[in-house]
Structures are given as C-alpha cells and as structure tokens.
Structure 1
Amino acid sequence: MRAEAPITPTEPQQKPKKKFEFPHIYVILLIFVAIMSLASYIIPAGEYERVEGPMGRMMINPEVFTFIESTPIGIMDFLTAVPQGMVSASSVVFFTFMIGGAFMVLKDTGIIHFGVDRLTKRFSTRKILIIPVLLITFSVITAFIGTPELALVYVPILIPLMIKLGYDKMMAAGVALIATTGGFLAALTNPGTVGLSHQIAELPVYSGAGYRFLLLLAIIASGVVFLILYAKKLEKNPELVKQSLKETESKHIYKEKSYEITRRQKAAGFVVIVMFVGMIYGVLTHQWNFIQLAGYFLAMGVVVGIVAGMSGNQISDSFNKGFRDVLLGAMIIGVARGVAVVMEESQIIDTIIYGLSHVVSSLPSSITVLGMLATQGLFNFFVPSGSGQALITMPIMIPLADIVGTTRQTAILAFQIGDGLSNIIFPTSGYFMATIAAAGISYGKWAKFIFPLLIAWFVIGCVFLLIAHSIAWGPF
C-alpha cells in the first residue's frame, strides 16, 4: 500500500496593496460643489449693497451689509450647478477651444516644428539658459497686460521644445505657469487687478511700480532657480524624461531631423508674430475680454492657414483636432465654475467676505497685512477672477487699511500676492487647470511638484508686505 504524501498547509495569499491613486480632477471639483452645497445650509445668506464703481462696474458698499433669508441648495440646484457653470464660464471655455484650434493649425503648417528645431539648435550647447530666457519673457508680458491665461498659449509650443531639449512635460507646464503666475502676482500695469484696485482706492493708477518690480525680480529669480534644480534632477534621472515621452502622443515631433520651410510658411510665421504683438496691444490698450480674444485666435488660425497654403477643409480639420486636444481643459473650467455658481445661488459669498474681514480687523496692526494676504488667497478659491475679487474685496480692505494704519498701496499688494499665489494651486482656477490638462499632467503630480516653490513665494510675499508696512509704502 502506497503511503500518502503529507499534506502541507498552504499559506493564504496576500492581496497586493493598492497604491493610492489621486482622484480625477472632476471628482475633486464635484466634491467641492457638494461641500459648498451643504455649507449653504449652515452659512447664513447675506448681501452687501452694490454701487457703481470704476468704468461703470458694480462693486460692494462695505458700510451696508444685511443678512437675508437663506436659500440653501436643493437637489436640482446641485445637479444643475455644473451645467450652469459651463454657461457662466462660456467665454473662457470658448477661448480655450479657439487656442487649441489655432495652435493645431500652426502645428499642421509646420511652423511650430520649424521653431522648435531652431530653438533646439540655438540652445543645444547651453540648454539650461532656455529657462531664464523664457521665464523672463513670459513673466514681463503678463506683468504688463495681466493675462495669465497665456499659459494655455505657451504650453503647446513648450512641450515639444522641452522634450527635444531633454526635459519633460512638467518642465513645459512649469515654465508656462510659473512665468505667467509670477508676472500676474507682481503685476506692474495689470488693468484688471492693479489698475482697477488703484481706481477703487483713489490712488494714482499704476503707482508704486518700482517696488512691485523688485518683487517681480525676486519671484522670477526664485522660479528660475527652482526650475534649474528640476532640470538638474532630470539630467540625473533620464528615465523620467523617457516616461514623459511615452505619455506624449505626438512622438514624431521629437525625431532628430532638420526642418525646412517654404516661403509661404515663412510668411505665415511672420503673420503669427505680427498677430501676437497685435493681441498684446489689444489687451493692453483696449482691455479685450475672452470673447474678443477667442475671435482673435480664430482669425489667427484662419489667416495663418491661408497664408501657409492650407485649404479650407484642411484648416477646418486642424481646428477639430485642436478642439479635441483641449476638450478636457475646457470642461474643467466649466466644472470648476460650478463651485461659484452654488455660492451665488445660495447668496453666501458676501457673508464669507463679511466674516473674513472681521477676522482680519481683529489682528494686531503689525500683522494685519499678512491677514489680508491670507484672506485674499482663501477668497480666491471662491472667486478666481482677479477683477471680480477686486470689486468684492477692495472696497472692504481699503478702509480697513486706513483703520489699522497700513497704506492702501500695501493693501493692494496683499491682494495681488494672495490672488497670484492661489492661482497656481487652487483647482477652481480654470485657466490653471486647463493648462495642466493640456500638458497631460494630473493635479496630484502638479501639486507635489509646485509646493516647494509655493512656500518660497509665500515667504517672499510676506517679507515684501512687512517691509512695505514698516516703511509706510505710499503714495497713501
């Protein structure tokens, strides 16, 4: 009789631990919509009296605030918040689509390929210099015209350029967003923030530009150092660049070959430069809004395509491809706007700023300016529009500055810094989320990447504010 083999107990197989996966940005934004909907049952409704402000725009009267009957968000209000957000943010959404379409035309004409090729050769032996050159250029443009949304314009060009230089998509998004946000934060002549705030505060428009220029230098210098350190990290870890290349669809852009262009393509490139300068002129002198800019980019795509020799069908196909590329970014803008829609429908925005102003006014005068910075940064989560925030908060912060003994100029700088800092991290900032979506970067990866620089900028901002307060930075 054959002996039976002893039965050995089998150890239970352990299930592999699931790695934490950062939620999709839609999930994050919908959670915020739900939280603000629930908050409408807790935060009492209230409103400030509205009066006519600079350029006929309505702003609050800080002396007249009343609590009103609450209008909490119901089920149907919650379900329609995102669609209403899409409608409310339609101008920015269409602006995003037109940028995507216009730049796909530029790509299909070969102009972007040629430009990337030339820049790569120019900086091939000193590629690290591309970082300060681009940061200074883009930040100065934004500091004067106040359009951080141009980050959306830069990213489609920067991605192939950075990868061909041996960097990755994060570097491309970093250059675009750090430059535009830094320029917006320390704006010299931004009409929507500095200009409007100076009119509300009855200061000489764009006064104090010298001190803000010093702030701009400090902000951009820190951004340059931050990105150079990241570039060194990429050089030591080429696998990071390979991964970025795998995740990028347009791999053919990065093949090592020279690009030549025809006379018509050269003429089209010249048209691009002229029209870009024209856009800056329109924003700076005529304060073009998003609808006008969207129409301008539509015209740019059509004109450049025709000059380059493309047919009507080819231009149309290019626009369709561009629309598909930026669809996620455009949708994010609308979903993010749903948070503000909930607050507007429940009428709790004014109550929040009323409560925040009381917290700031209770602080010691020596650190009131830091409280203003924190308040402006927090409020930007709810109202990510710079001009909209100025019309809501400046009528309160200006008299508060007079009471606590700081200057109005300093109060406006606190608004600029708080608004600018939060623009590069808050998911409710539509253009920022659209930019990282266009670059194919998740919100979690971006937050981890930018956090050290955000802390450095916060410290720099606090130092400049405390100095401004101590020297009674004027004119008032």
Structure 2
Amino acid sequence: MQHNIASSPAQESPAGKRIKKAGSINPYVLLFIMLAITAAATWIVPPGEFNHILRDGVKFAVPGSLHPVARSGVGVGELFTFIADGMVKSAPIIFLILFTGGAVNVLEQSGALSNALNAMARRKGSSDTLIIISVCAVFSVLGTTGVVINSVVAFIPLGMLLARSMNLPRIFGVGLIYLGTYSGFNSAIINPGTTGLAQRLAELPLFSGMGFRLAVYIVFALCAIVFLTLYARRCRRQGLTNEDDSPQQHIVATVTPAHWLILAFTTLALLTFIYGAINFQWSENEMSAMFIIIAIGVGLIARFSAGAIADSFLKGCALLIPGALIVGLARAIALVLGQGHILDTIVNAIAGLLAPLSEMFAALGMFISAAVMHIAISSGSGESAALVPLYVPLGDALHITRQVTVETILLGEGVINSVNPTSGVMMAVLAIGRIGYGQWLRFVFPLTLVWTVVSVIALIIGVEIQWGPF
C-alpha cells in the first residue's frame, strides 16, 4: 500500500495550520527571554552560597550553611559572552547532534533505513500499536538504565523516518523516541547518574527499593504507550498525515542484501556503544565517534565514493545546526545562575517553605519544588547534588523515609523533563524535529499531567507504607 500525502488538500490543511500556529514560539527566542530574565534576577535576588564538601568526587551542599556573598550581577555585555561559554561547555552534546545528522543522512542516502522502515510499516500485522509497544519497550529500558539520556537526540531522526513510513505526523515520531525514553528515565530503576547518585548522597543502599520503582516504571511506560496509541488513532481518524512530502514516501522499494548488511552494521555499532556505556562509562564523545564510524562503514557498504560520503555527512550535519546550537543557549542559563550566586538562595527559600508542613504535604512539596528547580538545574545529577543534602535532614525531621525523599526529587525532575524549556536536550529534539515549543506543549501536556498524577499517587503510597529500607 503506497502512502500519498498530496492526494487530498483537505488533509493537508489541518496539519499545515497547526504547524504555522505552533511556529509562533521560536525556541531560541523563548530561551533568550529566559536568559535575560535570569540575568536581571542576579541584580534582585540576594546572593548567597552554601558551604560545600567533597565526597567521592561529588560536591554537595551543607544544610544550614547558606551565607551571603558579594553580588555578582550579570550585565548586558556579559550576557552574550555567557551564550558563547554555554556553546563551549556544551561542545560534546553539540557535536553529538551534528554527527548524528551526518550519519543518518548517509543512512538515508543508502536507502537501507527508509526502505526497511517502509517495509515494516507496510508489513501485514504491523499495526500502529505493535510498533509503538516495540519501540517504547526498547527505549524505556535504555532510559531507565541510564544508557540513553542526552544521546536520545541521536535517535530522533530515526523516529521521524518511522513516522514518515507510517504516514503519521512528524511529532508522533519525535514523541515515540523521546517519550519512550523518558518514560523509563522518569523512574530510573538502575540509573547510576540519578538514582545511584541520589541514594549515595542519602546514604541509602545502592539501587535499593527497586521493586517499588519497577512498578512505577511499568505504569509510566504503559501510560506513554496508551497515549501514543490514542494519538495515532486520532490521526488516522482525522486524516492527519506526515508533513514531509518527499519522493521516498511514494516509492515502494525492496530491501536488498546490501541494505540488510548496512542495517546489521549500524545495529552492531549502536550495540557496541550501549555495551561501552554500561561497562566503560562511554558518553557523548564516544557516541560521536561511533556515528563517524557508522557513516564511513555505511558509505563503503553502499559503494559511495569517499567524496560522496563526506558530502552527505556534512549535509546531514548542516541540517541539525539549529538543534545543536540551542543546547549551548540553554546551558547559558545555568551559567548565569552560577555567576550571580542566586541558585543556593532560591533552594534555601524553598526548603524553608516546606519545613512547617506535615509529612504527606512536605513530600508532595518536595516533589513540586524539585520539578520547579529542574527548570533552573536541568542536570539530573546536578539537581540531586543540590537538593538531596537539604531535603534529607528535612525529611528525617518530618519522619519521611529517605527512600521517599530521594524519589520526590527523581520524580519531580522526571515529569518536568517533557516540558522543560531550559533542557538543552529537549529543545534540541524539538529543533531537529522542526516542532514549535507551543505545538509540543499541546501535544505532550495530557501525558505530562497523567505522569504527574502517577507520581503523586506513588509518593502518597510511599509515605503511607514507610517505603525504605529507611
């Protein structure tokens, strides 16, 4: 069955109108406004810092040690230098995004990936639901183990190609990969960078409470699967199709032995990275190198000339420049907060507001405040290092178990990840997918709301059962 997007103008108009409307919120403009507001706050919020101690290479705050420091407001001229600094400090993820575009473009030029995805979408029995379950299952596991977090941007083009093969809107493909990954990351069963670090700071046994966290993970993943399935059905019912009208969508091509070899080589390379991430702590730099290897290997198997491989790779890199540079702009906000010495002041004020509450409301207050603070601290490990030392003694005083205290922070940062405008990863994902922030909010808000409700219920249960070991 051939896909034909251009056959009905009536079908184009709803999607076209939505894209035009959603494009009104430019992510660069949004982040720059937030950056300017943050810079202005450095002149208004009283500057202060906690004393810090170093434990096992991790710096974390000493509760009750906030003290005033000299004001270091960020001026207009400095504001722009912080953008440049953000780009420099985000170089690993920026180059990962660029090299992802290069490798995927070589894959597209080979025809292996697009033909395989088209064949899967046309295959009898390959329903939308089956594809959604399969993809979400794989990426949620990669997310909950911490293997794929920042590097999720590398797989977004694959999701977009899958959406094109299924003749579903581009945002569906982006959501399939991103939401599938973060449905696992939100619960982080054995993620060393979030759960492992937070439990270590709270002096809990490493990865303790896994059974309860596993149940939360399953619920998160099921919610994502149901949400994406209902969205796909609504698109089919309303005639919403893929926005990318390219010749590949109208060609039914077979998958040749060379295509299978290309796919096998690419899969082996990605599995090698996953193995390295688990056993050798490989991260963005190693994955960037792996995408260069993939591009060269695929090009050679497809019998491209050396010049053709280079040209295709560079063209793919150029397509993702908007998504890459936005990471640096998001990082600049965190740098301004640090320069102005106002982050610790904000954290201390939130902790003071929670102190008089009952244990149930204090736990929910921790959850909400962690979600809010994640806008300022978009790093999961950074937020754990900042909040766990402050929330643990507060939880101890209110008879909240440390396991629940840790989970309030993990779930708080988890649910906000899908809508956080200061997340360089999420904004890069939207830029790669050519999706406006407003359009994304309208798409993802129902699932974010459901995830929030699930988190609240899980925390209430945790408080009631005194989830431990302590």
Query: TM-score, with normalisation over the residues of structure 2?
Result: 0.91
SS in 2 for 1:472: coil
Q: Contact 1:117–1:259 (CA<8 Å) still a contact in 2?
A: no
Match in the other structure for 2:34:
32
SS in 2 for 1:41: coil
Superposition deviation, residue 472 in structure 1: 0.7
Q: What are the Cα deviations for residues 323-373 of structure 1, in whole angstroms up to 9, with x where unaligned?
A: 112111111111111211211111111111111111222322221111111
The one-letter amino acid paired with 1:375 is: S
CA distance in 1, matches of 2:39, 2:155: 36
Match in the other structure for 1:41:
43
> What pairs with 1:199-348 in structure 2 (closer than 5 Å)?
199-238=200-239, 240-241=240-241, 244-245=242-243, 248=244, 251-263=246-258, 265-348=259-342
The one-letter amino acid paired with 1:38 is: A
Q: Contact 2:375–2:423 (CA<8 Å) still a contact in 1?
A: yes
Match in the other structure for 1:51:
53
Task: Provide the aligned length of Structure 1 versus Structure 2.
Answer: 451
Q: Contact 2:22–2:435 (CA<8 Å) still a contact in 1?
A: no
**Runs of at least 4 residues of structure 1 off by over 6 A?**
18-21
Q: Contact 1:110–1:261 (CA<8 Å) still a contact in 2?
A: no
Label 1:20 to 1:439 Cα distance change in 2 as closer, same or farther (>3 A).
Answer: closer
Label 1:65 to 1:125 Cα distance change in 2 as closer, same or farther (>3 A).
Answer: closer
SS in 1 for 2:65: strand
Label 1:19 to 1:304 Cα distance change in 2 as closer, same or farther (>3 A).
Answer: closer
Label 1:94 to 1:199 Cα distance change in 2 as closer, same or farther (>3 A).
Answer: same
The yes-or-no answer on 1:163 pairing with 2:164 is: yes
Q: Contact 1:50–1:59 (CA<8 Å) still a contact in 2?
A: yes
Match in the other structure for 1:23:
25
Q: What are the Cα deviations for residues 44-72 of structure 1, in whole angstroms up to 9, with x where unaligned?
A: 11111222123x13222224221111111
Q: Contact 1:113–1:259 (CA<8 Å) still a contact in 2?
A: no
The one-letter amino acid paired with 2:155 is: Y
Match in the other structure for 1:427:
421
Match in the other structure for 1:380:
374
The one-letter amino acid paired with 1:254 is: Q
The one-letter amino acid paired with 1:260 is: V
Higher gyration radius (CA): 1
Q: Contact 1:124–1:165 (CA<8 Å) still a contact in 2?
A: no
Label 1:207 to 1:310 Cα distance change in 2 as closer, same or farther (>3 A).
Answer: farther
Match in the other structure for 2:365:
371
CA RMSD, 1 decimal: 1.9
Match in the other structure for 1:470:
464
Label 1:146 to 1:384 Cα distance change in 2 as closer, same or farther (>3 A).
Answer: farther
Superposition deviation, residue 409 in structure 1: 1.1
Superposition deviation, residue 138 in structure 1: 1.0
SS in 2 for 1:145: coil
CA distance in 1, matches of 2:23, 2:118: 37
SS in 1 for 2:256: coil
Superposition deviation, residue 266 in structure 1: 3.0
Single out whichever of 295-304 and 204-213 deviates more from structure 2: 295-304
Q: What are the Cα deviations for residues 309-335 of structure 1, in whole angstroms up to 9, with x where unaligned?
A: 333222211221111121111111111
Label 1:332 to 1:20 Cα distance change in 2 as closer, same or farther (>3 A).
Answer: closer
SS in 1 for 2:51: strand
Q: Contact 1:98–1:294 (CA<8 Å) still a contact in 2?
A: yes
CA distance in 1, matches of 2:189, 2:73: 41
Unaligned ranges ≥5, structure 2:
1-19
CA distance in 2, matches of 1:126, 1:211: 32
Label 1:21 to 1:97 Cα distance change in 2 as closer, same or farther (>3 A).
Answer: closer
Q: Contact 2:87–2:331 (CA<8 Å) still a contact in 1?
A: yes
Label 1:361 to 1:282 Cα distance change in 2 as closer, same or farther (>3 A).
Answer: farther
The one-letter amino acid paired with 1:299 is: I
Q: What are the Cα deviations for residues 150-193 of structure 1, in whole angstroms up to 9, with x where unaligned?
A: 43232212222223223111111111121111111011111110
The one-letter amino acid paired with 1:43 is: V
CA distance in 2, matches of 1:63, 1:416: 23
Q: What are the Cα deviations for residues 124-149 of structure 1, in whole angstroms up to 9, with x where unaligned?
A: 65233211221112101111135233
Label 1:62 to 1:306 Cα distance change in 2 as closer, same or farther (>3 A).
Answer: farther
Q: Percent identity?
A: 29
The yes-or-no answer on 1:408 pairing with 2:402 is: yes
The one-letter amino acid paired with 1:439 is: G
CA distance in 1, matches of 2:396, 2:65: 18
CA distance in 1, matches of 2:215, 2:283: 29
Query: TM-score, with normalisation over the residues of structure 1?
Result: 0.90
Label 1:457 to 1:61 Cα distance change in 2 as closer, same or farther (>3 A).
Answer: same
Q: What are the Cα deviations for residues 288-320 of structure 1, in whole angstroms up to 9, with x where unaligned?
A: 232232223223322333344333222211221
The yes-or-no answer on 1:60 pairing with 2:61 is: yes
